[in-house]
């Protein structure tokens, strides 16, 4: 099983004024009759609803909050207008463990190429300034940090996952749609982009995958186990979801 960057979903939509607004319907994990509506900073509208709720009921609940959804989308779209594609030049902001660091590019033909975290800045040394080379060096640096940090956090989370007898194998792999996954034989795979998120978000994904070693699907037993080892996991998941567009670009 896996922790998706964007949840498995059913696409639905409704009309507000002259706009057709699409939203993703996902299963709400806890037993409740309420419909939960969230508008994310990347302008995704996600509606969590009980599995047995029919689409008409869900659509009715969404329409009641149509004005609020419209206004949130309008505000987030204004913010996105100011986000420009990364150029990998000095002055850009890049995430690491939930904090933003300024990128400083140093052209030094005689120095070894690489990345260092110094005095609150990500310093990248290159022989000749090239966006592709800087991007590659940063990706390699993030993967190296991810390998080290994920291994430490896995060890820490195993203290809570008492059902796991041996430390599972860990793989680092860039994935387009998942933060992490757990294979049937218990191997955990984590996305290196996750190292840009706060430590509690890393712990959440690791615990999610460790829970899958005991419960291989998203059953009620799985969510009970998840809530036992991380009582406020839903808030942490929401925080990670809100950062997705910022830390995977």
Q: What is the pLDDT of residue 226?
A: 94
The region of weakest confidence among 7-11, 14-18, 107-111 is 7-11
**Residue 42: pLDDT band by 50, 70, 90 thresholds?**
confident
142-155 pLDDT, tens per residue? 999 999 999 999 99
- pLDDT over threshold 80, residue 2: no
- Give residues with Cβ within 8 angstroms of 52, minimum separation 6: none
45-103 pLDDT, tens per residue? 999 888 888 899 999 999 999 999 999 898 888 776 666 678 899 999 999 999 999 99
Q: What is the pLDDT of residue 104?
A: 95
| Average pLDDT, integer, range 14-40 | 83
147 and 173 Cβ atoms separated by less than 8 Å: no
Three-state DSSP at 198 gives coil
* DSSP 8-state secondary structure symbol assigned to residue 44: -
Three-state DSSP at 21 gives strand
d(CA 51, CA 7): 15
d(CA 64, CA 57): 11
Assigned CATH class of 138-247: alpha beta
d(CA 168, CA 18): 52
CA dihedral for 107, 109, 110, 115, sign (positive or negative)? positive
Three-state DSSP at 13 gives strand
Q: What is the pLDDT of residue 18?
A: 83
Helix (H) or strand (E) holding 156, with range, is helix 131-158
Tokens of residue 143, six digits:
């993967």
Task: State the span(s) of the chain assigned CATH 3.30.2010.10.
Answer: 138-247
């Amino acid at each position: 099983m896996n922790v998706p960057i964007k949840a498995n979903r059913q696409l639905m939509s409704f009309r507000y004024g002259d706009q057709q607004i699409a939203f993703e319907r996902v299963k709400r994990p806890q037993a409740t009759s309420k419909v939960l509506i969230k508008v994310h900073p990347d302008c995704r509208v996600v509606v969590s609803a009980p599995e047995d709720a029919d689409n008409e009921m869900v659509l009715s609940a969404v329409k009641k909050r149509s004005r609020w959804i419209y206004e949130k989308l309008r505000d987030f779209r204004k913010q996105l207008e100011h986000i420009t594609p990364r150029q990998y030049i000095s002055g850009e902001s890049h995430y690491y463990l939930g904090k933003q660091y300024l990128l400083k590019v140093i052209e030094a033909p005689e120095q070894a190429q690489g990345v260092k975290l110094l005095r609150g800045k990500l310093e990248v040394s290159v022989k000749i300034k090239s966006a592709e080379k800087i991007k590659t060096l940063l990706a390699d640096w993030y993967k190296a940090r991810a390998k080290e940090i994920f291994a430490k956090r896995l060890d820490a989370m195993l203290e809570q996952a008492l059902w796991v007898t041996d430390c599972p194998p860990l793989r680092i792999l860039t994935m387009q749609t998942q933060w992490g996954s757990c294979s049937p034989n218990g191997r955990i795979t984590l996305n290196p982009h996750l190292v840009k998120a706060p430590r509690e978000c890393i712990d959440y994904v690791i615990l999610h995958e460790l829970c899958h070693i005991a419960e291989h699907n998203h059953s009620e037993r799985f969510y009970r186990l998840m809530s036992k080892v991380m009582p406020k996991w839903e808030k942490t998941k929401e925080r990670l979801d809100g950062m997705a567009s910022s830390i995977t670009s």
